[in-house]
Structure 1
Amino acid sequence: MITVTFFKSADYFKGFKISGHADFNTSGPDIVCAGVSSAAIMTANTITDVLHTDAEVTDSDGFINLNLSSNEATEASHLIEGLWLHLSALQKQYKKYIKVIISEV
């Protein structure tokens, strides 16, 4: 199962962590893993390469973590919120394969 944790303060999203594998299918044709990975990487790339933030990003097989400082989070929060909306919709469709959590920080 993929677990997605979004880090949120009272006012804005500050980051996210994604770990695990969906096991919906074998690696490659696993549409759940592909959808989650693609959305997460697009969000991370937009935050770092388009908004030019100094986000801390870790990306390795089956794991991605992105953290923003409070100042940067105010600018990038809407992008992370969009990822949360997208992955929450995937969770509704693929309940056995993805779990989305919000952690207050």
Structure 2
Amino acid sequence: MIRVVFWQGTGGTFTGFTVTGHAGYRPKGEDIVCAAVSALAQTAVLSLKEHLEEEPVVSIQDGVLDCRLPAGLSPAGQEKARVILKTIEVGLKAIASDYRQYVAVEYKSI
């Protein structure tokens, strides 16, 4: 199962996200669920890198993608990050809704 955790700071603002696991929907290389989640997560990372003044802190290992926003973002940077992260949240929640036994979305405070 893929587990997506959106990390939240004070006031519920997103501070990053972590994606762990493998869907197991189909064999490796044929798993559309894994591919969809990976595409959204990687697009979010690329978009954050493109649009923020400071790059997010990103760690990618086998079965794990962790992305944290840099501290001290300007109000404009915070708004850009909010829009990007809320957008992938919508996509990931839709996938989780359609493939409940393969993807779970959670929210945790830091």
TM-score (norm. length: structure 2): 0.87
Q: Which residue of 1 aligns with 2:2?
A: 2
1:85 alignment partner AA = V
Unaligned runs of 5+ in 1: none
Alignment: residue pair count: 105
Measured in 1, the distance between the counterparts of 2:27 and 2:86 equals: 29
The percentage of aligned residue pairs carrying the same residue is: 29
Unaligned runs of 5+ in 2: none
The answer to whether residue 89 in structure 2 is matched with residue 84 in structure 1 is yes
Measured in 2, the distance between the counterparts of 1:38 and 1:87 equals: 10
Which stretches of structure 1, 4 residues or longer, exceed 4 Å deviation after superposition?
A: none
Task: Please state how far the C-alpha of 1:60 moved relative to its aligned partner.
Answer: 2.1
Measured in 1, the distance between the counterparts of 2:49 and 2:17 equals: 14
Q: SS of the residue aligned with 2:29?
A: coil
Instruction: Pick the aligned partner of 2:102 from 93, 97, 100.
Output: 97
Measured in 2, the distance between the counterparts of 1:95 and 1:32 equals: 11
Q: SS of the residue aligned with 1:86?
A: helix
